[in-house]
Each structure stands twice: as C-alpha cells, then as structure tokens.
Amino acid sequence: MIELILLAIGLAMDAFAVSITKGLCMKNKINYKQALFIAFSFGLFQAIMPLIGYTIGIQFSTYIVQFDHWIAFLLLSFIGIKMILEAVFEKEETECKLFSIKEILILSVATSIDALAVGVTLSFIQTTNIIQAIIVIGLITLIISFIGVKIGHKFGMKYEKSAEIFGGILLILIGLKILFEHLGFINF
C-alpha cells in the first residue's frame, strides 16, 4: 500500500504542477467550483488511464513475464527522467489562460498519459487489486490537484518545478525497487 501511495503521488505531480498554474490564474479570489472541477478531472483521468494500460498489458503479460521487471523499471524511469528534464529545461508560461472545460479535459489527458504506461507496468508486476490501485491513484491525484490550485492561488509558480522533479524522482525510485526485488537484491 505504501508503494502504491508513493506511485500515486509521483503520478500526480504533473497534475499538481498544472493545478498550481491554474490557481495562479485565479488572481483575486479562488473559485472553488473551478478548483473542484480541475481536481476531479485530473483525478478521474489519472484513474482511468492505468486501468486502460492494465487491460492492454494483461493481454501481453504471459509473453513477456521473464522481462516484466525490466519493462517496469524502464517505463517508470523513462517517465521519471522525462518529468525531471521537463521541469528543469522547459520554459515557463507567462500567460494565464482563462478557465475552459475543454482546456482542462485536454490537460487532464495530457497529464495522465504517464499513468497509462504505469497501468501496463502494474499488469506486468501482477498487481492483485487494480480497482484499489486506480481508486488510490485517482483520489490522491484529486486531493493533490485541489491543493495545487490553492497553492497556486496563494504562492504562484514557486513550487511547480520542484513538484515535477520530486514526482520524477519518486517514479525512478519505484522502478528501481521493482527491478531490485525481481533480481533478488532486496525483499520488502
């Protein structure tokens, strides 16, 4: 369960960073209806994508069971490194866009693509309760995204890059843990 919670936190960091920017756009007063919509949308898509990835991965798991831990490690590490590099090298947006449902849905899909790959990974490591996993991932993303909007409203973009770097590091560490467990170096 601790590993699942850490995985969910790592996955939620992209949504958290985007939520901060949306909170930043709420200059005078935070709009709680919009904040809840943002959080719900991010949480919903973060929950749906691992389920889709899991369903796809389960179809192929019997063919690659000997290599599944390497695939899990590579996918999580790739996603983590990508998050870190984007946080360090991507230019900051200076323009605040007005709230639009279409934009939030597009951002929800964009920030949850990584969760699709994680769903494939969950199928390879034979996660026994995918429903529990998607509920935890969705709820944690919802909560973290709502907090992100509030932080963005209060503090601006100060924490956006740190959140993405933290999330990337978490995903890499989880990938290493999976690899080391399957290679017999550690046993949790």
Give the pair of three-digit tokens for residue 76.
């999580």
DSSP characters over 26-81:
--SS--HHHHHHHHHHHHHHHHHHHHHHHHHHHHHTTTSTTTHHHHHHHHHHHHHH
In this predicted structure, the answer to whether residue 77 has a pLDDT above a threshold of 80 is yes
In this predicted structure, the answer to whether residue 152 has a pLDDT above a threshold of 70 is yes
Q: What is the mean pLDDT of residues 152-161?
A: 69
Top pLDDT among 35 and 127 is at 35
Whether residue 136 contacts residue 33, with contact meaning beta carbons closer than 8 Å, is answered with no
Specify the pLDDT at position 103. Answer: 83
Give the pair of three-digit tokens for residue 17.
């960073």
Distances (CA, A) of 133 to 7, 51, 70, 144: 10, 9, 21, 16
* CA angle in degrees (0–180, nearest 5) for 13-139-112: 45
Q: What is the pLDDT of residues 1-53, one digit of tens each?
A: 888 898 899 888 878 888 887 887 776 778 899 999 999 999 999 999 999 98
pLDDT tier at 65 (50, 70, 90 boundaries)? Answer: low
pTM: 0.71
DSSP state of 156: G
Distances (CA, A) of 127 to 4, 8, 52, 178: 10, 14, 14, 12
* CA angle in degrees (0–180, nearest 5) for 168-171-174: 150
Q: What is the pLDDT of residues 100-124, one digit of tens each?
A: 788 888 888 888 877 888 888 788 7
Distance CA 171, CA 137 (A): 13
